[in-house]
Structure 1
C-alpha cells in the first residue's frame, strides 16, 4: 500500500514538473510590458525617454521626445525648449492638437513641435514620437540611390524597400515663404511629414534627421535606437563594397512575432543612464 501511494505521489510530481516545463516553452516566455495608465506616469517616463536617446548617441542638443495624453488624446506632452539630456518631469508642457500650449503662461516650447502634433492628428495608434538628428541616419536622407533599409534583426520595423524621406523643397516649390527651410516648424510642413510617414514607423527629413513613432514611449525609444544602429551597420556594410543583403519580406513579417519584448531593452537602456 505504501509503495503504491509513493508511486502515485511520484507520478503527480512528474505531471506538475512536466506541466510547468510545457507552460514555460509554449508561447512567449516574456510578456508585454504594462503600459502607463496615467498621465502622471507618462510624464515621468517622458523625462527618462528624453535622456535615454542622448546617452545612446541618438539625440543631440536639439532633438525631442513626446507622448500623447491618456486623459485627452488630442493633447500631448513635450519638454520645454531645452537640452533633452537635462529634462525632468517639471520641464514638461502640455500642448493641444494644434501644437499650442494649453497653459498660456507655459515656458517656450520647441519650434519643431509640429512634427509631433501633426503626426498625432492623423495617427491615433501613435502614443509617442522621437525626433532625432542621428548622424548615422542623416546620410541616408540625402542619398536616394542608397535608402535606409532594414539590415539587422532588431530593425524589422523598417520598410523593406527603404524609409521614406521628406524633402522640404517638394513642399516649398509652390510656397515661396517656405523656401530654404530645413526645420519642420509649422503646421504645413508637419502635415507633409505626417503624410510622408504614412503608416510606417520611421520617416527621414532630408539633411536633417528622422521622426520615429511607437505605441508607447518604450517602443518609440527602442525603434529610435535601433534605427540609429541599423544605419551605422548599413554604412559599414556599404563600405565593405559589393552587394548588401537586407531583410526580406518574410523576415519583416516575422519581426513583430520575434521582437515582442520591449521591456528588456527599455530596462537595459534606463540602467545605462548616469546614476546622477
Structure 2
C-alpha cells in the first residue's frame, strides 16, 4: 500500500534535483544571470508547480525549491519569499495543460527581436521549435505604463494568451518565456532561443536576404532534437555538477 507514495516521493525528489540542475545550467550557459527563473509542474498535482524561492539561479539548492499553486499561493515552503513574477509560470500552466516546464529569461541577444518589427525566426535546425514563430507580448498595450514586470494574474494571463500554442513568447523590452513538456526540453529551448537570436542578428548584419527554415523542416528538426534531448542534458548537467563540486571544494579549502 505504501509503494505508490514512495514512488511519488521519488519522482518529486528527482524533479527537484532536475530543477536545481536547470537553474545552474541556464546560469552557466548565460541564459539566466542574477535574474530569471525556471519552474516545473508538480508531477502528481497538475494545479501546482515547483520553483525556487527568490534567489539567483546559479545559487539555487534543493532546499530552495518551493511548491506554489496556480493562484500564486505557496503550498510548500511557506516561509520562503517567492519571485515577483510567479504569475508568468502560474498562468502559462493554467492556459497550457501540455506545458510541464517554463523558463523566463532576460538574455540580451533576444531582447532586440521584441522591440523591432523583424521577427525571431528559425535560422538553423537547432531552433526548429520556433516553427510557429515567437509572438511578442507588450505589457503596455494591455495594461498601460508599468514597471514591465508580470506581477499580477491578469498580466500573466495576457502573456499566456499572447504565447498561444507557440513554444516561445518574447516580452517587449523585457525578455522571453520558453515552454516545454519537460525540464530538459525547456532548458534546451531557452538555450537555443538565445543562440538562434545571436546567429539571426549576425546573418542580418551580413546583408542581403536571409534564408530561414520553413515551417515543415523546422517542425521535423524539432521532433528529431526533442527525441535526442537526453544527449545535451547529460552534458550540461555534468558541467553543472562539476561546478557545484568545485564550489564545495573551494568552501572546504577556505576553512
TM-score by length of 1: 0.82
Question: 1:270: how far off?
Answer: 1.4
1:155 maps onto 2:127 in alignment: yes
1:86 alignment counterpart: 59
1:195 alignment counterpart: 161
Runs of 4+ in 1 over 6 A off after TM superposition: none
Greater helix content: 2
Q: Which residue, out of 156, 165, 168, partners 2:139?
A: 168
Work out whether residues 37 and 70 of structure 1, in 8 Å CA contact, stay in contact via their aligned partners in 2. Answer: no
Q: Distance in 2 between matches of 1:121 and 1:68?
A: 10
Q: Which residue, out of 260, 265, 269, partners 2:232?
A: 265
Matched residues, number? 234
Unpaired segments ≥5 residues, structure 2: 1-8, 247-255
Work out whether residues 79 and 92 of structure 1, in 8 Å CA contact, stay in contact via their aligned partners in 2. Answer: yes
Question: 1:181: how far off?
Answer: 3.0
1:132 alignment counterpart: 105
Matches within 5 A, 1:191-270: 191-259=157-225, 260-270=227-237
Q: Distance in 1 between matches of 2:105 and 2:32?
A: 5
Q: Distance in 2 between matches of 1:255 and 1:100?
A: 39
Corresponding residue SS for 1:163: coil
Work out whether residues 67 and 77 of structure 2, in 8 Å CA contact, stay in contact via their aligned partners in 1. Answer: no
Q: Distance in 2 between matches of 1:249 and 1:202?
A: 15
1:62 maps onto 2:35 in alignment: yes
Work out whether residues 104 and 175 of structure 2, in 8 Å CA contact, stay in contact via their aligned partners in 1. Answer: yes
Q: Distance in 2 between matches of 1:140 and 1:54?
A: 22
Corresponding residue SS for 2:63: helix
TM-score by length of 2: 0.88
Question: 1:134: how far off?
Answer: 0.6
Work out whether residues 129 and 219 of structure 2, in 8 Å CA contact, stay in contact via their aligned partners in 1. Answer: no
1:44 maps onto 2:31 in alignment: no
Larger radius of gyration: 1
